[in-house]
Amino acid sequence: MGTGYLRQFRVQAAQWLIGAMIALCGVIGASHPAQGCPFCQAFRSPFSNDLRNARYVVVADALPLPPVAAGAVRPSSSTERWPEAVDNGGGTHRESRKGDTDKVNADDDEDEEEGEETARPARQFMVIKVLKGGSAVRVGAKIEAASASLDLPPSEHSTCLLFGFDSPELTWTTPVIIHKSSESYLRQVAQLKSAGRSRLRFFLDWLDHSDPAVAGDAYNEFALAPYNDLVALKDDLDRNWLKQRIGDPRTDEMRMRLYLTMLGIAGTPEDAPNVLELIAVLESRADLALDAAVACYLSLQGDRGLPVVEQRYFANPDMATRNVYSAICALTFHGDEPRRIARERVATSLATALQHAKLADLVIAKLAAWQHWESTPRVAQVFKQADTQHAYLRQAAVRYLRMSLHPEADELLEELKRIDPQSVAQSESFQPIPPPDGTEND
């Protein structure tokens, strides 16, 4: 396993700990409303935001590129770093996302690569329709925008959507490839309410649209919407359609996460065995959608599914760390949204993951955020088993113990001071605030 992968975990650990000590809330840091798909990541800002905030909105055709001089090499979009490739509004499919998974598992060579950014050259576009901006931008005008690719094909797919902003000079966003027939979608989006069930209901019908930009934008809306709005759509979610999309090999990992989250809302316990089979497949190929699959399984099974997760991930020393991490994320979701399973029951299961030293600091932070103090003796044991090379584990344990209301917390903290006074002293520089009920940790 590459050190870059572990470094990613350490950054998340720090965020979790800060959230637990300062805010006592949040999955990885500060508190925020649960998203419609907590496991999803929007590929770009939704069109609705840009339609509202942009000064100009146009549909334009990419003009032919000038001839390449003899001996010169035209950069190819295939050499540019994901996600800086041409934005189709919806990301890329599983085949082209493999590099994202490979990067997570790569050795620690990120520092050398971070400074390398492929320049995005400008390209000219001919405006064919003005959706916003009045007479300031006219049909037939030529505009110039940074293009992530120099190889847009001369077809209808070279028609692009561009947003212009005054900052203070007029700047055009990276073009989004869009079908000419999708203009009606944009006009309807501009008329939607800012939030609520009816808004998401509109985008539900566009998730499977033939235009990748439109389908991708509908996905982005779900990725950013409040989770309560998604739950309110339960009666509109087609369980069979969701299962078809989950089983379709063309479904990319992010949309897989969305569909699994939806199935967790609209599905029944009868779907749980199929989801468990999917979990095994996702594990074998290190799929990013594993976290959503485990969460879906628990949504369908309720607390009856927790022993399965505990045995499969936390009691199994041979389980890959990234898979254990996915299970932790799934339990975190259910603990933060305790609709299907009581938070205390989720916390009890999550505490069994403390034996995975590489991820124990993440678990400790979340248990502290949930004020689950029953695991205080086990957290103290994490401190004792950690060596000086893993000071972050010891510091996480001390911070938890200083917050804990467990009757043995003070005694255990004194014991840890005798083992490693330096780690305890460093941890005491972080002052926890009183719990939300106003009680002090005396």
CA angle 93, 214, 255 (to 5 degrees): 40
Query: What pLDDT score was predicted for residue 296?
Result: 97
**Would you call 287 exposed, middle or buried from its count of C-beta atoms within 10 A (0-12, 13-18, 19+)?**
buried
Rounded average pLDDT per 10-residue block, the chain, 442 residues: 42 44 34 63 91 92 71 45 37 36 38 46 86 86 74 61 88 88 90 85 94 94 91 95 95 94 96 97 93 97 97 93 96 94 97 94 96 96 88 92 95 93 78 43 40
Q: Which CB contacts under 8 angstroms, 24+ apart, belong to 181-187?
A: 181/211, 182/209, 182/211, 182/213, 182/214, 183/59, 183/129, 183/131, 185/209, 185/211, 185/214, 185/217, 186/47, 186/51, 186/57, 186/131, 186/161, 187/131
Q: How far is CA 165 from the centre of its chain?
A: 27
DSSP 23: I
pLDDT of residue 36: 61
pLDDT for residue 275: 97
Q: DSSP for 247-302, please give it.
A: H-TT--HHHHHHHHHHHHHH--GGGHHHHHHHHHHHHHTT-TTHHHHHHHHHHHHG
Query: Coil, helix or strand for 408?
Result: coil
Q: What is the pTM of this model?
A: 0.77
What pLDDT score was predicted for residue 57? 94
Residue 354 has a pLDDT of 96
| Sign of the C-alpha dihedral computed for residues 86, 90, 96 and 100 taken in this order | positive
Q: Tally the C-alpha atoms within 13 A of residue 355's C-alpha that lie toward its C-beta.
A: 11
CB 195 within 8 A of CB 229: yes
Q: Return the structure tokens found at 288.
A: 């990013």
- Taking the CA atoms of residue 235, residue 238, residue 239 and residue 244 in that order, the dihedral angle to the nearest 10 degrees is -160
pLDDT given for residue 391 in this prediction: 86
Token representation of residue 59: 């549909």
Q: What pLDDT is stored for residue 24 in this prediction?
A: 33
φ/ψ (deg, to 5) at 145: -140, 150
Degrees to nearest 5, angle at CA 58 with 53 and 61: 145
What pLDDT, on a 0 to 100 scale, did the predictor assign at position 80?
32
- What is the number of residues in the chain? 442
Token pair 């103090």 is at which residue? Answer: 373
Residue-by-residue DSSP string for 141-154: -EEEEE-S-S---S
Max Cα-Cα span within the chain: 79
Task: Using CB atoms within 10 Å of the CB of residue 75, give its burial: 0 to 12 exposed, 13 to 18 middle, 19+ buried.
Answer: middle
3-state secondary structure 186-220: HHHHHCCCCCCHHHHHHHHCCCCCCCHHHHHHHHH
Q: What is the pLDDT of residue 23?
A: 34
CA distance 427 to 400: 10
- For residue 133, the tally of other CB atoms under 10 A from its CB is 16
Contact between 191 and 199 (Cβ < 8 Å):
no
Report how far Cα 410 is from the mean position of its chain's Cα atoms.
38
**Rounded Cα–Cα distance for residues 326 and 293 (Å):** 9
- β-pair partners for 126: 61, 142
Q: Give the separation between CA 260 and CA 294, rounded to whole angstroms.
A: 9
Q: Cα Rg for the chain, rounded, in angstroms?
A: 25
Residue 318: how many other CB atoms lie within 10 Å: 4
Predicted local confidence at residue 166, as pLDDT: 86
438 to each of 252, 433, 435, how far by Cα in Å? 46, 9, 6
Quote the DSSP letter at residue 42.
Answer: -
Write down the pLDDT at residue 70. Answer: 58
- Amino acid at position 183, single letter: E
Pairing mode, strands 170-172 and 159-166:
antiparallel
CA distance 337 to 27: 11
